[in-house]
Each structure stands twice: as C-alpha cells, then as structure tokens.
Amino acid sequence: MKTIKTPLNEKDILNLKMGEVVILSGEIYIARDQAHKRMFEVIKKGKKLPFDIRNQIIYYCGPTKTPKGKIIGSCGPTTSLRMDEFTPALLKKGLRLMIGKGDRSKEVKKAIRKFRAAYLLAPAGCGALISKYVRKAKPVAYSDLGPEQILKLEVKDFPLIVGIDSKGRNIYG
Amino acid sequence: MKVIKAEKITKVVSDLCVKANCVLRKDVLRKIRAAYLSEKNKKAKAALLAIINNAQIAQKEKLAICQDTGLPFVFIEMGQGVKIIGNLKQAVIRGIAQGYKKGNFRESIVSHPLKRGKSHYSGAVINTDIVTGNSLKITVLPKGFGCENKSQIKMFNPTASSGEIKKFIIEVVKSAGADACPPYVVGVGIGGTADYASLLAKKALINKLTTYNLRLTTDLLKGINNLNIGPMGLGGKATCLAVNIEHYPTHIAGLPVAVNISCHALRSASAKL
C-alpha cells in the first residue's frame, strides 16, 4: 500500500503501478461534466483556467448538498468516460491525476502516457463513506453550476486504486 | 370509495424520498452481504465491504447512499375506488422537492434536456396504473444516471431464440463494464411495445430480489457473472446480484426486449394509502 501527499511530486506519480492501492491525502479539485466543458472552452479561447491546474488532481464528482454540521454531503465518483472528450486538453495544461470510476477512452489513455499522468479509481457508489475522508471543502469557481461547480477539497487517507498508470497500463485491460 | 387529500400524498412522497435515498433496501443489502461472503478475489471483497460500510454510514448519519440521488421515478397504482382531493401530479412533484430538500440531496434535475439550465429538485417521471380496489400505492425509485445511461432496447423478430435474447442482455451488461457501479441488478422487460418493454424493465427493479428458478433468469445470472467484471470492475464473481424479469403480451410480428441496469445502490421505497 502506497501513500501520496500533495503537492504532488514527479516520482510519486511515476511510481504508481496499475492495480495497487494508494492512500491519498491533501488537496484535490472536484469537477464534472459542465465544469469540464467550460474549462475546455476557456483553453480553446486561450484564456486562463479558474485555478492553476499544473500538477493538480481532479476528482469527477458532484456532491449532494452539505447537511448542517457536516463538511460535505455524499460525494462518490461519477462515470469518468463522460469527461474524456475534454481530458487530453487538461492533461496538456498540466493536470496529473484524475479520480473517477470506470474505463477511459483510447485518446485519454494515450494522453495519460504522453503527459505521464495517472488515473485512480474511487470506491464507486460509496458517497457516504467517502465523505468521511474529506476534511475541508471550499467553492472555487462556476458557482452558478450548483452541484457541478468546482470545489477544492482537503482529503485525508482517501483509499484509491490505480486504474491507469503513467506507462498506460490499464486495470480494465 | 376512499378519499385522499393531495397534501397527504405530498407528505408520503417526501418521506419515501428520504427513506429510499438513505436506507438501502434490505433485499439488496442481503444480496451484497452474500456476495461479500462468497467472494474470493481480495480487491472485489474489499469493494463489497466498502459498499456495506457505506450503507451503514448512510443510514446512521442520514446521508444519501450515493451522491447521485437520481431522477426520481414514481410508480403509482391507483385503485378505481380512490378519489383524490386536489392535484395528484402536483402533489407528487411537491413531495419530491420537499423530500429532496429535507435530505440535502443533490439538485440533479434540469428543466429542459437541450437547454439544460440551472439544476433543481422539482421533477420526476410519474407512471400511473389504474387498478381495482380502494387503495393508492406509491413507490419512489431514485435512479442514478450512471446506470440509467446504459439502458438499451432491441426489437427482436418473433422467431428469435432465447439464446439470442440472452446474448443481447449479457452484451448490454458487458458494454456497461465497470461504468455503472457493479455489482448490478439487471431489470429486463420482455413484450408489449418498445416503450412498454422499457417501462417493464424499469418496473422489474422495484420487485423484490429473490432467486427465481426460471431457466432464463438463472442462465442470465450465470452468463453475466461469467463476464468477470466484478465489484468496481475489479474482477471476481459478483457482477450481478439479481436479474428481475417482467413480461407482457405482445404482437405476432415482434418481440421487444428492454434492459435497465441498476447500480448496486438500488434504492426504492413504497407506501400504501
């Protein structure tokens, strides 16, 4: 079992091996469909992204509302495949780790290898459990998107499985 | 004749939304526990344990089992002897909005599929069936879209063999892969028309998960579990917890088959008034 802390260092990313369990602590960004579409448009127009994406982690998730007295509501992963048309552009801008569920497209696998990134799997359909690993949650951008806005989370001991490593090895074959 | 006020329906629907989203169905949990006990693959076993722990946390802390609290599908079975005072449809939609707000669930509904816009709570797909009797049965099925997106329908020739039908259903699950949160419950609707078969496939999901001894069900369960997708797609035996099939008369020229996959967090709750 491996542990990773943010800020990410090159060695940690390159050492990740497909299929192994990795325990993540530190800062990650939440973004899903509509936020990806917007970030993609921003990149296409040559404008600045709402946060510095270099060396960062994106978690594909749209949490429920936060119940009173809690840090965050239920917050499990959403299907990664839907972000795939926008992902290579984000990897090119410096995104290094992605967290989600399910397989990725050929293009994304290729881009993961090219930009020496990796893709991690979160316990799918376990949003209540995952909320226990979140220590802080803060809105970052696109608040008009409601549950699809970009949030910055601080997580502690978030258990993940390496789905695709920087060499392009894929758990789904 | 039984008289039911619309306000009462709103309250019942609201409570059903909270229950369905926070308390995993006992029959589903039982199947997951059984899968956990018999699973040999270490990673798959760990994923099943996470699912069991998640259900416990959700129930104890009144958190949604899954952040995708779905587009609620509401089945209404209305007895012919029931008279509703007020607007039934509005009462249901209000109940959904109230329950979802109360539960701090996710605003996952957009008013227009193309224009999209700001998401909110006020929406549901409502199916009403008129039945005999003096009671009103309401079932709320909050269906997440990770799995709803994997639904398929095929219009077979009436001469199609059961082997062809089985192959299609297994292929649908195979193409869902790990995307729709396995282990799955597979709802199958056979017969009727294209639209009705789809409804039956959805309706099959609210039926209790029991082990039917039908040849088709056991063959499908075996075929799907041989796909080796497993919990979270990590391999192992448990790709499918149950296959529920509903059928209906159809036309001599056709044989519609619809498949509606549910993730392991199959949530529904019912009440009878």
- Contact assignment for B67 to A127 by CB distance below 8 Å: yes
Cis ω for the linkage preceding A7 (within 30 of 0): yes
What is d(CA B255, CA B191) in angstroms, rounded to the nearest whole number? 6
Reported as a single tens digit per residue, the pLDDT across B8-38 is 999 999 999 999 999 999 999 999 999 999 9
The angle subtended at Cα B269 by Cα B68 and Cα B121, nearest 5°, is: 40
Contact (CB, 8 A) for B206 and B141: yes
Which has the higher per-residue pLDDT, B198 or B214? B198
Catalytic residues of A: 36
3-state DSSP of B103-146: CCCCCCECCECCCECCCECCCCEEEEEEECCCCEEEEEEEECHH
Reported as a single tens digit per residue, the pLDDT across B82-99 is 999 999 999 999 999 999
What is d(CA A33, CA A55) in angstroms, rounded to the nearest whole number? 21
For B109, the closest chain A residue by CA position comes to A147
DSSP state of A8: P
Q: What sections of chain A are H helices per DSSP? A: 10-15, 33-44, 87-92, 106-114, 127-130
Q: What is the CATH number of domain B2-23+65-143?
A: 3.30.360
The two beta strands, B2-5 and A97-100, are unpaired
Q: Is B97 helix (H, G, I), strand (E, B) or coil?
A: helix
Report the pLDDT averaged over residues B161-168. Answer: 97
Contact (CB, 8 A) for B216 and B224: no
Pick B67's closest partner by Cβ from A62, A144, A161: A62
Which amino acid is it at B164? E
- pLDDT at position B117 is 86
Q: Per CATH, which fold does B146-266 belong to?
A: 60s Ribosomal Protein L30; Chain: A; (3.30.1330)
Radius of gyration of chain B (CA): 19
What is d(CA A30, CA B89) in angstroms, rounded to the nearest whole number? 36
- Contact assignment for B64 to A101 by CB distance below 8 Å: no
> Looking at the predicted structure, is the pLDDT value of residue A112 above 80?
yes
What is the separation of C-alpha A43 from the centre of its chain, rounded to a whole number of angstroms? 18
Two structure tokens written together for B197: 């078969």
pLDDT-derived band at A120 (thresholds 50, 70, 90) equals very high
Place of tokens 């009671």: B135
Q: What is the CATH number of domain A2-164?
A: 3.20.130.10
- Contact assignment for B54 to A129 by CB distance below 8 Å: yes
A136 interfaces chain B, CB cutoff of 8 Å: no
Contact (CB, 8 A) for A129 and A173: no
Domain map (residue ranges) of chain B: 2-23+65-143, 146-266
